Structure 1
Amino acid sequence: MSAPAKILVVRNDRLGDFMLAYPTLLLLKQALPTTAIHALVPAYTREMALCCTGIDAVELDPGPAARAAEQFALLRRLRQTRYDAVLTLFSTTRIGWLTVAARIPYRLAPATKLAQLFYNRRLTQRRSQSAKPEFIYNLDLGMKLLADHGIADAAAPQPPYLRFADTEIARLRTEFCRARNIATTDRLIFIHPGSGGSANNLSVEQYALLANHLRAPHPFTLVITAGPGEEANAARLEALTDGLPRTVYYSRDGLRPFAEHIQFADLFLSGSTGPLHIAGALDRPTAAFYTRRRSATSLRWQTLNSPDRRLAFAPPESAAAEDMSKIDVAAAAVAINQQFLQSPP
């Protein structure tokens, strides 16, 4: 089978899921440099799709709730582009039907649920077992596509998977510190408490306790981050960390500026969120908090950074799988201090 001229890669759900598709997108572009790689994503992750060097063009998915007219408009665009192959990393019946109706000859997806019936190439993965990281499941699909097209020796890319120009990030960091009266020599520890609406996160009080147990021989400043809808928890965490050097960064200008700020983080602390996976793609040091629920473990949603740049914590075996209150954040802080905060910034 000859190399496809155009491939559509579908990952049209949440931010973290899309970030974990970065290695696969880069794998395809690395192995097929003359092939046009397009990504079908929702509007929310479009900015991060545009940042990926493995993507040549972005196609917007209006989503399952969109009107029929919008669904058929997407179908027309897919037909007009004349894709040779589609790789659907997470499929639904709607997307499966669209790939068939768009007359894409090679259609690959995981062999799961009814949606698999729309694909003429499938890979059995049993993702529900969560036996490996999500990004490895994605890479396995990318490797199958390449093998089906005669490329059997492709090397998986290595971190960082996302990188902005170092000179621009250095300038941005300097401006950030000066605007907030932070010494530019300080280590910047980002804490992203999120909205608190998900069961798989620490409480704001736990994040405050964690922050108060951080120790380093060199000065550091906490950078409490918040996206739209997360401002209240950021303000609460700021109040609960009174006495610590801290500032709040409200991400109101979109995902790319947020990602650019994350690149100059010396450490990123959060639950299993989209921003955590941006930090991982940037190969920043991370410490993350997960449940033990099989579909949401630290293994399944492992970050993309190098092994020595990540720590993960979960409730003990003696606690309920999703009881985040049972995580010993003081003990977690000791591990974080030892792993990330003892050497000079």
Structure 2
Amino acid sequence: MNILISRTDSIGDVILTIPLAGFLKQKFPECKIFFLGRSYTRAVIECSSNIDKFINWDELRQLATEEQVFYLKELAIEWVIHVYPNKKFAQLVKKAGIPYRIGTSHRTYHWLTCNKPVSFSRKNSELHEAQLNFKLLEPLGVYEIPSVSDIPFLYGMVLSDKQFDDLPVQPDSSRMNVILHPKSKGSAREWGLENFGRLIELLPSDKYKVFISGTAEDKAHMEQWLKKYADRVEDITGTLSLDAFVHFISKADALVAASTGPLHIASALGIKAIGIYPPIRPMHPGRWKPLGKKAEVLVLDKECEDCRKLTECACMKAIKPESVVRALED
């Protein structure tokens, strides 16, 4: 059985979809799993030993329609699971004659492109985002949804033998290596540079080596803040490819961030991943917390509606840096 999982959006969402591959391998040991993703998510998708082949949507969509159809037919895919609805790919899959096409019935174009619709709502569900993905396996006769404590065992993350000896910085074996990822590129509420700065001040340099990660764009937004703490941290913002960053995270001891891709990468790799979250549905940890063997979340014990329409969350910023220190030391 050849099964293709389609998820063409962000890194964090892709990480939370990868356990589907591990679960399918358990249920159908002889199956072959294809994963359709984007160029920028390739590095994390190819880390999973449960995924047999990565298909790059950015490259596939550049081909002529006839070439796209021929390519998909050559793969002999029998099932496609549209985890992230992608209208153009859904139309292509139908055109390629793939027999079984699963997708949510809540997208009108799936009525014409999917012959195995599944009806469920993500918006009001009490399930974690990763668990909701398993609802799409019902047409395959799989109705079981793993617990959030079982999902970390389904990632199958195995790093390649590729060496990154030329990294601009290296972890320090004599100290606890902690990556702080302050920004979110607008994908999540942020804890704030002031809180991250206070956290840096609380971490003794003889015990902790602190790295600041982020994109080149993040670096520009944090320029003055980075200068302030230049003697306390190693700045790796904008210096690593995703492939190198994944390897770097795997060598660290902990990562602290809001609900971002790097947080979910860290949890999937099995290092201590400390997520800082707002108590606002549906962005609360019950829906989006990192799922890992050493993952932990910090959130105020309340339901907050006051900050829903704001870009910042006062309840999230009220989480004290001392709480993060305690989580690191546990």
TM range (shorter): 0.7 to 0.9
Aligned match of 1:204 in 193, 197, 221? Answer: 193
Q: Which residue of 2 aligns with 1:140?
A: 135
- Percent sequence identity over matched residues? 21
| Matching of residue 62 in structure 1 with residue 48 in structure 2 | no
Q: Which amino acid aligns with 1:8?
A: L
Q: Which residue of 2 aligns with 1:40?
A: 36
Aligned match of 1:190 in 179, 185, 200? Answer: 179
Q: Which amino acid aligns with 1:333?
A: P
Return closer, same or farther for 1:216/1:195 CA change in 2, 3 Å cut-off.
same
Q: Which has the higher mean CA deviation after the structures are superposed, 248-257 or 196-205?
A: 196-205
| Matching of residue 123 in structure 1 with residue 133 in structure 2 | no
Q: Which amino acid aligns with 1:257?
A: A
| Helix, strand or coil at the partner of 2:46 | helix
Deviation per residue, 1:23-80 (Å, 9 max, x gap): 111111233232221111111112222211111111111389x66x545533331123
Unmatched tracts of structure 2, length 5 or more: none
Once residues 248 and 74 of structure 2 are traced to their aligned partners in structure 1, the CA distance between those partners, rounded to angstroms, is 38
Q: Which amino acid aligns with 1:313?
A: V
Aligned 8 A contact 2:35 2:55 in 1: yes
Return the TM-score normalized by structure 2: 0.83
Deviation per residue, 1:182-236 (Å, 9 max, x gap): 7522111111123655562233333223433x45797112110123432224544
| Matching of residue 239 in structure 1 with residue 227 in structure 2 | yes
1:172, distance to aligned residue in structure 2 (A): 7.0
Q: Which residue of 2 aligns with 1:309?
A: 295
Once residues 3 and 188 of structure 2 are traced to their aligned partners in structure 1, the CA distance between those partners, rounded to angstroms, is 37
The count of aligned residue pairs is 325
Aligned 8 A contact 1:259 1:278 in 2: yes
Q: Which residue of 2 aligns with 1:254?
A: 241
| Matching of residue 159 in structure 1 with residue 149 in structure 2 | no
Once residues 198 and 23 of structure 1 are traced to their aligned partners in structure 2, the CA distance between those partners, rounded to angstroms, is 22
Return closer, same or farther for 1:21/1:153 CA change in 2, 3 Å cut-off.
closer
Q: Which residue of 2 aligns with 1:96?
A: 90
| Helix, strand or coil at the partner of 1:259 | helix
Q: Which residue of 1 aligns with 2:108?
A: 114
| Matching of residue 263 in structure 1 with residue 250 in structure 2 | yes
Q: Which has the higher mean CA deviation after the structures are superposed, 314-323 or 97-106?
A: 314-323
CA RMSD, Structure 1 to Structure 2 (Å): 3.5
1:279, distance to aligned residue in structure 2 (A): 0.9
| Matching of residue 282 in structure 1 with residue 277 in structure 2 | no
Aligned 8 A contact 2:195 2:320 in 1: no
Return closer, same or farther for 1:197/1:331 CA change in 2, 3 Å cut-off.
closer
Return the TM-score normalized by structure 1: 0.80
Q: Which amino acid aligns with 1:28?
A: L
Unmatched tracts of structure 1, length 5 or more: none
Aligned match of 2:46 in 50, 55, 66? Answer: 50
Deviation per residue, 1:81-119 (Å, 9 max, x gap): 221111111223323212211111111122312133121
| Helix, strand or coil at the partner of 2:321 | helix
Which residues in structure 2 correspond to 1:15-30 (within 5 Å)?
15-30=11-26
Q: Which residue of 1 aligns with 2:329?
A: 341
1:304, distance to aligned residue in structure 2 (A): 1.8
Aligned 8 A contact 1:160 1:282 in 2: no
Once residues 183 and 101 of structure 1 are traced to their aligned partners in structure 2, the CA distance between those partners, rounded to angstroms, is 53
Q: Which amino acid aligns with 1:294?
A: R
Return closer, same or farther for 1:318/1:13 CA change in 2, 3 Å cut-off.
closer
Aligned 8 A contact 1:215 1:341 in 2: no
Return closer, same or farther for 1:10/1:277 CA change in 2, 3 Å cut-off.
same
1:124, distance to aligned residue in structure 2 (A): 2.1
Once residues 125 and 272 of structure 1 are traced to their aligned partners in structure 2, the CA distance between those partners, rounded to angstroms, is 24
| Helix, strand or coil at the partner of 1:96 | helix
Return closer, same or farther for 1:221/1:31 CA change in 2, 3 Å cut-off.
same
Once residues 198 and 49 of structure 1 are traced to their aligned partners in structure 2, the CA distance between those partners, rounded to angstroms, is 20
Return closer, same or farther for 1:54/1:131 CA change in 2, 3 Å cut-off.
same
Q: Which residue of 1 aligns with 2:286?
A: 299
Once residues 141 and 70 of structure 2 are traced to their aligned partners in structure 1, the CA distance between those partners, rounded to angstroms, is 30
| Matching of residue 227 in structure 1 with residue 215 in structure 2 | yes
